[in-house]
Structure 1
Amino acid sequence: MRAVVAKQAGRDGRDGRSVEFAEVGVPEPRSGEVLVKVDAYSVNRGETFQLENPPPDWRPGKDVAGLVVQAAADGSGPAVGQRVVAHPPAGGWAEYVAVPTDALARLPEQVSTARAAALPLAGITALRLLRAAGSLAGRRLLLTGASGGVGHYLVELAAAAGALVTAVTSSAERGARLAELGAASVVHRVEDAPGPFDLVLESTGGADLPLALARLAPRGELIWFGQASRKPVELDFFSFFAGPVSATVRHFSYADGDQPYAADLETLVRLVAEGRLHPEIGRVEDWSRTAEVLDDLRERRVRGNAVLTLS
């Protein structure tokens, strides 16, 4: 089968052409896995970073949607012919991928595979992040890096839960969309966010994190879930005394131990089917253009998610 693979070591992967097509063997599912014929997959900016220094024998691809063509040998999971959205550990940018049955969800007729492919990584991150934040009703929430795939889901879900969301995005166009999704306020720099905020969800790192931290209310909480700027953070302990008294700073990772993904995927699919969650897909292309899309994603030329289709 054909698959998108990381280029061999020694070849420049920083110009957007960090991947190429190759012929690889069709995966053989283990007992608790199904074989999925991939119809669409989503690419994430974090994967562009991994491609700069890929592990040996690793193939990218964690967000896929398609058709089950081989059921799990242990009888778990969907039957052959069922459309699914899935979050395999790797290898999803290919014609076929083996997926654990606890990392997928069935798709109803009204949810297309292109929309579903944009759900797994960004959607699961948003769900679990808000779950970690606790009750949101009436809380003042600051979200940095709001115009990415995770940010769009966070704004819509948090606003629906009753939070007063201030979203930070550098683009007026993207800000208008975030307002449509429920953001009470949109600013273009963290410095422009008035505060104080009960909760900060911070994903950019660098200079933005201390600026966001300073806008916390007393005993507020900052949850740090990304570093899109790829710049280190420097914090001055004494600045806490002039602002966020007794603030909490917490690290978050969506891969929460051994917690399966199936239940969260089912929730995301249900919300989309009910019209309560809207995947923000800024780019849909044939998978032959994966390298170009990766370049655009790396350079922030894509709003929300980018989806590649194999049809």
Structure 2
Amino acid sequence: MQRLIPTGEAARPVAFAEVPQPVPEPDEALIKVEAFAPNRGETFLLEHPRPGHLPGKDISGLVVQAAADGSGPGVGTRVVGHPAQGGWAEYAAVPTHSLAALPDSIDSVRAAALPLAGITALRLLRTAGSLAGRRVLLTGASGGVGHYVTELAVGAGAELTAVTATPVRGERLAELGAQVVHDVAAAQGPFDIVLESTGGSGLPTALLKMRPGGTLVWFGQASRTPVTLDFFQLLGGPERVTIRHFHYAGAPYGSDLAALVRLVEQGRLHPEIGRIANWAETADTLVDLQERRIRGKAVLLTGEGR
């Protein structure tokens, strides 16, 4: 079968290779991949790929071999999945606890856009707690996670301010009900909750815009610049602020995937997809994703997507 493997080259980070079809573990189903969605964080791992790394964590497709232990969906079931790796291929072995069945109303493209960004958004908002009537600041908002967080948070009653680099990248967020600004310094606080994903100078600036007793949830460092905090500057800002580190990972993922599928089916969540292309264009898409030339998610079709 065909699989995309890392090359270590910045201009063309992946290339096709002919490899054996994966052999599932007893608790894994074999999925014929119809579509997959790369994430910006995955592009960073491709800069200096570790030996044996097989990229690909967000897929949709068809079960062609059910798990030997009897768990999970049966043969012929359309699914969305979140394997640990190896999803950028014609076939992928996925633990059944990281799969959810798809209804006919959700196509492979929208399904593939759900896993990592959608699970992150769900778990991030659970960490933030009750949102109704609360003022929320979201940085780095124009990617897949940001669009999901915005729609879910506004739907839960939050007054949300989203930070994007450009007006174009903020258009859909404004349609979803966010107030959009293009610099953290321009956000009009104070905020009860800050969801911070950029690091660098953005985090300390956002921190000073919080209410006393507020919570900042730090879930990324998209700027790739470490954060420096000035203790004495913070003394002059809000009191008793809590900073929480957040990382989405932790299986099982199936229940969260099923929740995301229900939200899409009910019309309460709309994947923002900035590019749909054949997987022959994966390398170029990865470069554009890393350089922030794609708003929301990018989805690649293996040829069987619908």
TM-score by length of 1: 0.96
241-250 vs 98-107, which deviates more?
Answer: 241-250
Q: Distance in 2 between matches of 1:13 and 1:209?
A: 31
1:290 aligns with 2:260: no
Aligned match of 1:187: 181
Q: Distance in 1 between matches of 2:170 and 2:112?
A: 24
Select 1:109's aligned residue among 104, 112, 118: 104
Aligned match of 1:29: 24
1:272 aligns with 2:286: no
1:2 aligns with 2:2: yes
Residue by residue, what CA displacement relative to the aligned partner does 1:110-162 show, whole Å, maximum 9, x if unpaired? 00011000000000000000001110111100000000000000000000111
Q: How many residue pairs align between the two structures?
A: 303
Structure 1 SS opposite 2:54 = coil
Select 1:237's aligned residue among 231, 241, 249: 231
Q: How far does residue 182 in structure 1 lie from its aligned partner after superposition?
A: 2.0
Q: Distance in 2 between matches of 1:116 and 1:244?
A: 41
Q: Distance in 1 between matches of 2:6 and 2:266?
A: 38
Q: How far does residue 287 in structure 1 lie from its aligned partner after superposition?
A: 0.1
Give the unaligned 5+ runs of structure 1: none
Q: How far does residue 101 in structure 1 lie from its aligned partner after superposition?
A: 0.3
Query: What amino acid maps onto 2:28 in structure 1?
Result: E
Residue by residue, what CA displacement relative to the aligned partner does 1:207-251 show, whole Å, maximum 9, x if unpaired? 101001110110111000000000011000111221121101110
Q: How far does residue 288 in structure 1 lie from its aligned partner after superposition?
A: 0.3
1:167 aligns with 2:159: no
Aligned match of 1:281: 273
Residue by residue, what CA displacement relative to the aligned partner does 1:60-103 show, whole Å, maximum 9, x if unpaired? 00000000000010111111000000000000000000000000
1:60-209 aligned at under 5 Å gives the runs 60-183=55-178, 185-209=179-203
Aligned match of 2:209: 215
Q: Distance in 2 between matches of 1:245 and 1:71?
A: 54
Residue by residue, what CA displacement relative to the aligned partner does 1:242-283 show, whole Å, maximum 9, x if unpaired? 112110111000013xx4100000000000011110000000
Q: How far does residue 170 in structure 1 lie from its aligned partner after superposition?
A: 1.6
Structure 2 SS opposite 1:177 = helix
Structure 2 SS opposite 1:43 = coil
Give the unaligned 5+ runs of structure 2: none
Q: Distance in 2 between matches of 1:244 and 1:283?
A: 41
Query: What amino acid maps onto 2:269 in structure 1?
Result: L
Q: How far does residue 174 in structure 1 lie from its aligned partner after superposition?
A: 2.4
Select 1:53's aligned residue among 40, 48, 53: 48
Query: What amino acid maps onto 1:283 in structure 2?
Result: R
Aligned match of 1:247: 241
Q: How far does residue 18 in structure 1 lie from its aligned partner after superposition?
A: 1.2
Q: Distance in 1 between matches of 2:180 and 2:134?
A: 16
Percentage identity across aligned positions?
A: 64
Q: Distance in 1 between matches of 2:252 and 2:140?
A: 27
